[in-house]
A and B are shown apart, each in its own frame.
Chain A
Amino acid sequence: MTVGQTSGPTRGRAPLGLTLPAGVALTFLVLPVIAVVVRAPWASLVDELSSGEARVALRLSLVTTSISTLACLTFGVPLAWLLARTAFRGRSLVRALVTLPLVLPPVVGGVALLLALGRRGIVGQYLLAWFGLSFPFTTTAVVLAQTFVALPFLVISVEGAFRASDERYDDAAATLGASRWLTFSRVTVPLALPGIVSGAVLSWARALGEFGATITFAGNFPGTTRTMPTEVYLALQSNIDAAIALSLVLIVVSLVVLALLRERWLSGVSA
């Protein structure tokens, strides 16, 4: 630490005890991605990807993850609000149940969805008998599987954001004549928006990578239920180059989306 420098960190350089482990973490995370880029079959990339299968799978992935992210927002934000702003008996139990899909192995989640909403499921059998509704082997099932695994991410992020925002603003809004709904939509949500955005990104990312529950509950058919991860898994069995090429596509798509999200939106424009 040199005294008297006019530029540089005011509290001295970052300590080695922190930069070293951080560097290890960063390397660990980035290395596999770099490996994919390095080993990608650049020469035959266009051939591998121009097969309709890749485009179909990618399109299916993008469409289903958009819908499931919207579903997560629509149903998750109110649940987060309830957990953060109201006090009801069994609240901590509800919170624990919400986080359950996070610890369930995805395949187990898929089996659970089958047992609930499959043709012989505890609810599914009635849906089939009364309305002729059957979920397995449909794109709807893909969306359901993705939403199931991604919803906890959104609820937890948004609940945190609601908790962090000052409840006194709600008081102020009430004294100005805003009903609870108006307060929610005009004050609470705008102030918690960065948290909601990052929650949505997290759940979108989780939905995009979802595989185990999807393949178990929805099945595996090109165009209907074969998402990108399933396509990669299948390709891996017989054509490693195709698998790498598809993985590269997924990585690029994810990076583009994340790059589009400016840090400003994620870190907040609140008080």
Chain B
Amino acid sequence: MSLLASFVVRRPEHSTTIDLDVEPGRVIGLIGPNGAGKSTTLRALAGLARISSGEISLDSHILAAEGVHIPPHQRDVGFVFQDHLLFPHLSALDNVAFGPRARGVRRRTARARARDWLERLDVGDFADRRPRELSGGQAQRVAIARALASEPAMLLLDEPTAALDASGAMTLRTQLRRHLSEFDGVSIIVTHTALDAMLLADRLVVLDAGEIVQSGTPADVASRPRTQHVAALVGLNLLRGDAVDGVVSVPGRASIIAAEQLNGPAFAAFPPSAVSLYAGRPDGSPRNVWSGTVTSIAPHGDALRVLIDADMPLLADITPAATATLGLLPGSRVWASVKATEVSVYPA
């Protein structure tokens, strides 16, 4: 039940090029900025969009190729939509039973199977409710049950936690983690949330402007992001430039001194926690020092995350006490420093 997808979807404004080889049971996290081609990819895999060239095959069955397009209802693919898209005129139970029934399962068997899935997703109590009587999280779980009830070979999820609040999202995430690990088909999940990407995916694929720009385990991608999008997603400061003896610089803009010796095109990344702020120019060991203006301050767990407009945009995590001491407000001028040893550099 493995997925081999190597295709291009060409649109008037842009095109998306995908190359994926996924083993059964694996969960791929597809991340990237808006318009990168993530939804296009999912729709092409589901058969809701045609590919312009290439091939998609699932479990050795060809789903799409040159001159071949298997329509969605003949593909063995389950889809969980961002806003659940549960049929409003059917109860939760009938929604979940819809897939099996469409595939010819007898009514009673289908409903029993549906009830079973609802229980598994912890929404068994809501079997007879209409979608509009469910909360966002409940509805999304019903949607997952609905997709899984047909026992598809591949499961596609389009930002499943996006429409939920923090606690609802966490509940759903936990559920999903369990079910995705039990699911023996291929899962592909599109997400904008770091937690989804980190907790649910075995591998992350980063799309930008229709191209795959990075691929690796969540840990790899998170510690060595290659795009601003991922850096922002995981909360890292990132600069891409040219390294000369460990100094990564972008001419006319910023330069960062790192501890490792590296030459050539490179990324320099450091976490917000590594940034220290001062009222005046600091002296002492840190070799990276910049001055800038505070753009915004937002709570971030126990700390405050400060966005600073310097040679490069900087994210700094500061304790509330420090913020008060420095008298930081949007517009305040501030000095920031990062130790070279805290900066990781890696080839671009």
Contacts and interface: CB of A to CB of B under 8 A. Distances in A.
A and B, direct touch (CB closer than 8 Å): yes
Interface of A: 168-169, 171-180, 182-183, 186-187, 190-191, 269-271
Given A269-B89, A270-B89, A173 B48 contact: no
A174 B87 CA distance: 12
Given A176-B146, A177-B99, A178-B98, A270 B88 contact: yes
Contact of B87 (A169, A175, A177): A169
A184 to B, nearest CB: 12
A182 B102 CA distance: 8
Interface stretch (B10-18, B70-78, B191-199, B237-245): B70-78
A175 B48 contact: yes
Contact of A172 (B81, B132, B150): B81
B46 interface: yes
A162 to B, nearest CB: 15
Given A178-B73, A191-B89, A270-B89, A186 B79 contact: no
11 contacts: A172-B87, A173-B102, A174-B48, A175-B46, A175-B73, A176-B146, A177-B103, A179-B102, A180-B73, A186-B98, A271-B131
B139 to A, nearest CB: 11
Given A168-B81, A171-B48, A271-B132, A176 B89 contact: no
Most interface-central of A168, A174, A186 (chain B CB within 10 A): A174
Contacts of B146: 176
B47 interface: yes
Chain A interface, DSSP helix/strand/loop, else mixed: helix
Contact of B150 (A176, A180, A190): A176
B85 interface: yes
Contacts of B99: 176-177
A53 B308 CA distance: 91
Nearest to B84: A172
Contacts of A178: 73, 98, 102
Contacts of A180: 73
A173 to B, nearest CB: 7
Nearest to B78: A175
Interface string B206-220: 000000000000000
B79 A172 contact: yes
Contacts of A182: 73, 102
Given A171-B48, A171-B72, A271-B132, A176 B98 contact: yes
Top 5 closest pairs, chain A to chain B, by CB: A271-B88, A174-B72, A176-B99, A175-B79, A177-B102
A191 B75 CA distance: 25
Interface in B91-120: 98-99, 102-103
Contacts of B77: 175
Interface residues of B, number: 25
Contacts of B102: 173, 176-179, 182, 186
Contacts of A174: 47-48, 71-73
Contacts of A191: 87-89
Chain B interface, DSSP helix/strand/loop, else mixed: mixed
Given A168-B81, A186-B98, A271-B132, A175 B72 contact: yes
A190 B130 CA distance: 14
A14 B46 CA distance: 50
Nearest to B71: A174
Interface of B: 46-48, 71-75, 77-79, 81, 85, 87-89, 98-99, 102-103, 131-132, 146-147, 150
A182 B73 CA distance: 10
A194 to B, nearest CB: 11
B29 to A, nearest CB: 20
B98 A173 contact: yes
Contacts of A176: 73, 78, 98-99, 102, 146-147, 150
Contacts of A175: 46-48, 72-73, 75, 77-79, 147
Most interface-central of A173, A177, A190 (chain B CB within 10 A): A177
A190 B98 contact: no
A180 B73 CA distance: 8
Contacts of A270: 88-89
B85 A168 contact: yes
A173 B101 CA distance: 11
Given A175-B72, A175-B79, A176-B146, 11 more contacts: A169-B85, A171-B81, A172-B81, A172-B85, A173-B102, A177-B73, A177-B74, A179-B73, A180-B73, A186-B98, A270-B88
B101 to A, nearest CB: 9
A183 B87 CA distance: 11
Contacts of A183: 73
A177 B101 CA distance: 9
Contacts of B87: 169, 172-173, 187, 191
Most interface-central of B89, B103, B150 (chain A CB within 10 A): B89
Contacts of A169: 85, 87
A177 B78 CA distance: 9
Nearest to A165: B88
A171 B81 CA distance: 10
Contacts of B85: 168-169, 171-172
A180 B47 CA distance: 14
Contacts of B132: 271
Contacts of B46: 175
A43 to B, nearest CB: 52
B79 A177 contact: no
A105 B81 CA distance: 50
Contacts of B73: 173-180, 182-183
A190 B94 CA distance: 14
